[in-house]
Structure 1
């Protein structure tokens, strides 16, 4: 065998091993792709078809209405109320969570005694089951619950309310539950981001005479911009998907004051058997989520290019 023949044979074996390696990689990926395509994408296509039907989910011969469900949706005051509630809920909770999360991360980034314990306490609500949190806060907000008892004990009995039965404050009560549940997540991301801030910049600011507030505002906060964007957009998408605490604490009431898109979809599709209309509502939620995801990806791309 000549040297050229041996080299050709070795190259052939190398290509064969490379093809086998690629094939092995595809075999590992195929089960996940089957699940994603079969459950998510096929489900989305099927749901979009159902959204064009007047169907109760049981009738073997549903009526095709085309865009009738979407026209009904645009004229539905409950839909607009739910969308407004989601928007207000998202804006308030995201701003509060981000503010509290950053504040706690800044405080615990210093030499604080028992810092590990405080970090655990802040993060624990993130991993608690929403059902457990909802049951606890439902009791907490009762007219004879702990919150009103605390207000009475400190002489603020004039502020006592039936918190989740009063249309004027029920949404605020749900915001408080969400802030309690997810501030720890904001804290965790900010804590990780703060570890990437250059210590030399902070030292230079101190040498120049900048105080703590000025240093945080002018140096720390700008360097956390992508963390801000991530928390804002994931918070908005999370608000669109919020269902458990609303359904378990208020059920969307009283008087639709805490109705969300998710609870409205559940009531229409599952409780009222308006499956076609519920599917149209869910397609709107999907469209909003995709739009926000596209915005997030665009912002990340711009940040990398800058």
Structure 2
């Protein structure tokens, strides 16, 4: 609510109070409270039940589902896969994204074509690409055929059918899919850096690596923090690629929290336990986002001293 002072005939009078932007946010507020937060609250309620999703008389079990989760080795395995997945994919996607953005900010031909090629995987649906990747990395797929062609047949193996290689393949597919988004974000962030500063650094004898490390990288730190938060939340929510390509296998080698929640809630009809896992996922996502944001803020304050 705002109060406006209107001058009339040398006298100031106060207009009636009137709302400013509140009517415009009411639909979003209703949607957030009525759908998002209600769903979270209802999921929290279901997490206290022993329910198959169909029975009209679910049994209240309190916090037993959460205790079961902490005692479930598959849950801890899925959580470990999520941590490894986040660290590896975030590091490689960040590196590739900033390298591509730096190269395309230089004087090269066909910039528009390169941008399209890098970004196309982002807009491809995983459901469309999953059969392709299953074929490529199958025991008799094109990847092993390529190894044979180059005389590296001794490296050929069933990449998706063994625990030691299934998770790296899932990470490689994810890196291929989402590096384009990191590239676009870094490219936009680099556009805000004054080119005269970079030119002055070159005139002082700074090489490309030094410019990237000492000027461009600090200049896009805010973008890196945002990407880290998005990557952390995305890793916790990972479902489509591991489910469609490996179905969480073999032997839970590519099981993530998202695939575990689906498996417990739908095929196994442990809806209460699946809801408890969903609440734990929400808590982890919020916690990781806050930790990354706080660490970035503390580092910025330390460097400004």
Q: How far off its partner does 1:208 sit?
A: 2.2
* Structure 2 counterpart of 1:3: none
Per-residue CA deviation, residues 15-62 of structure 1 (Å, 9 max, x unaligned), is 2xx62x54xx44443222222111110111111111111111122221
Q: Which of 222, 238, 244 is residue 226 of structure 1 equivalent to?
A: 222
Structural mapping, 1:26-41, within 5 Å: 26-41=22-37
Q: Which of 149, 153, 159 is residue 145 of structure 2 equivalent to?
A: 149
1:42 aligns with 2:68: no
Q: How far off its partner does 1:173 sit?
A: 0.5
* Structure 2 counterpart of 1:74: 70
Structural mapping, 1:12-161, within 5 Å: 14-15=15-16, 19=18, 22=20, 25-161=21-157
In 1, Cα distance between equivalents of 2:153 and 2:203: 50
Q: TM-score, normalised by structure 1?
A: 0.90
Given that residues 232 and 289 in structure 2 are in contact (C-alpha distance below 8 angstroms), is that contact kept between their aligned partners in structure 1? no
Structural mapping, 1:179-194, within 5 Å: 179-194=175-190
Q: TM-score, normalised by structure 2?
A: 0.90
Q: Secondary structure of 2:57's match? A: coil
Q: How far off its partner does 1:146 sit?
A: 1.4
Structural mapping, 1:238-253, within 5 Å: 238-253=234-249
In 1, Cα distance between equivalents of 2:29 and 2:203: 55
RMSD: 2.1
Given that residues 266 and 278 in structure 1 are in contact (C-alpha distance below 8 angstroms), is that contact kept between their aligned partners in structure 2? yes
In 2, Cα distance between equivalents of 1:157 and 1:258: 25
Given that residues 228 and 292 in structure 2 are in contact (C-alpha distance below 8 angstroms), is that contact kept between their aligned partners in structure 1? no
Residue 265 to residue 205, structure 1, CA distance change in 2 (3 Å): same
In 2, Cα distance between equivalents of 1:127 and 1:134: 14
Given that residues 230 and 296 in structure 1 are in contact (C-alpha distance below 8 angstroms), is that contact kept between their aligned partners in structure 2? no
Given that residues 51 and 277 in structure 1 are in contact (C-alpha distance below 8 angstroms), is that contact kept between their aligned partners in structure 2? yes
Segments of 5+ residues of structure 1 without an aligned counterpart are: 1-5
Q: Secondary structure of 2:262's match? A: helix
Q: How far off its partner does 1:194 sit?
A: 1.1
In 2, Cα distance between equivalents of 1:138 and 1:36: 38
Segments of 5+ residues of structure 2 without an aligned counterpart are: 1-7
Given that residues 164 and 173 in structure 1 are in contact (C-alpha distance below 8 angstroms), is that contact kept between their aligned partners in structure 2? yes
- Structure 1 runs (4+) deviating above 6 angstroms are 6-10
Deviation larger for 59-68 or 274-283 = 59-68
Q: Which has the higher helix share?
A: 1
Q: How far off its partner does 1:138 sit?
A: 1.5
* Aligned length, in residue pairs: 295
In 2, Cα distance between equivalents of 1:274 and 1:294: 31
In 2, Cα distance between equivalents of 1:205 and 1:32: 47
Q: Secondary structure of 2:285's match? A: helix
Q: How far off its partner does 1:300 sit?
A: 6.6
Q: Secondary structure of 2:164's match? A: coil
Q: How far off its partner does 1:298 sit?
A: 3.6
